[in-house]
Amino acid sequence: MPRLLVFQHVAAETAGTLDPFLRGAGFRLRYVNFERTPDSDPDPRRYDGLVVLGGSMNVDQTGEFPHLLTEIEVLKEALVREMPILGICLGAQLLAAALGAPVHPAPVKEIGWYPLQSSPNAGDDALLRHVTHGQHVFQWHSYTFAVPPDAVHLASTATCANQAFRYGSNAYGLQFHPEVDREMIARWLSEPSWREELETLQGPDHAREVHADTHSHIGPATEAATRVFGAFAGLFRRDPRHRALDSR
C-alpha cells in the first residue's frame, strides 16, 4: 500500500477529487496542513510519493510563510529519491523553484476556465496524453514559472506559456487545477477575499460567468482528471526507468 505525503496550504484548497481517487486506489494519505502547523518538518523518506497542493501565497513570500522553504527542501529530497511528485498550482511553482527555475508574476492573471494547448511532447507523456488539446481546465493564479532546466514542457494556454512540465520520469508540475469539482469552485467563488480578486479581474459579472462555464466544462474536465490521476497512480507500479512514457 503506497504511502503518500500531501502538502496543504489553506483550508479551501483541498485535494478535491484526487483524495477519494487515491484512497480508492489503495493509497495511504498523510496530510500536512501548513496553515495549521506551519512549523511542520515532514521526512519524505517515510513515504513513497508527494503531492503539493495550491495556495493563496506566492513562492517569494518566504518571510511571511517560512514553511515554503521547508517544502522546497522536501521537494529536493523527493527529487533525489526519484519519488513520484505531483505539484498543483502553487505546488507546481514550488517544484519549479526546487529545480532552480524562476517563479514570478504572470503577465496575465488567470481565473476561470481556459483551453489547454498541448505541446508536441504531451502526446506520449504518461499523464498529459490523457488531456486532449483544447480541453478546458480550471485556473486560479497570478504567478507563473519558467520550465526548469532539463524538464519537458507539456502544455500552455493562450495567456500563460507554461502550464505543465515533467522532470525526469516521475515529477510533474501542473499550473492548472485538475482536482476541482463543482463544490470546490463554488467555495472559492464565495470566499470574500477570493471573490474580490475575481471581480478586480473582469468585474462583478465574472463570478457568474465562471459558474456558467463550470456547468459546461466540469464534466469533461473531471473525466480527464480521472485519467490523469490514474496515470499518476501508475507511476508507483512501474519501473522508474519507464515511468514517463506509457505504452498505448
- Position 182 scores a pLDDT of 96
pLDDT digits (tens, 9 = 90+) for 25-63: 999 999 999 999 999 999 999 999 999 999 999 999 999
- Do 166 and 125 form a contact (C-beta atoms < 8 A)? yes
- Do 142 and 55 form a contact (C-beta atoms < 8 A)? no
Residue 234 has pLDDT above 70, yes or no: yes
pLDDT digits (tens, 9 = 90+) for 96-138: 999 999 999 999 999 999 999 999 999 999 999 999 999 999 9
Is the whole-model pTM more than 0.75?
yes
- Do 156 and 131 form a contact (C-beta atoms < 8 A)? no
- Do 224 and 132 form a contact (C-beta atoms < 8 A)? yes
CA–CA separation, 113 vs 110, rounded Å?
Answer: 8
* Grid cell of 119 as nine digits: 505541446
* Grid cell of 165 as nine digits: 512540465
Task: Find out if CATH 3.40.50.880 is the number for domain 3-242.
Answer: yes
Of the pLDDT bands very low, low, confident and very high (cuts 50, 70, 90), residue 156 is: very high
- Which residues on neighbouring strands pair with residue 87, listed in sequence order? 52, 173
Per-residue CA distances from 101 to 48, 97, 128, 148, 183 (Å): 25, 5, 21, 5, 33
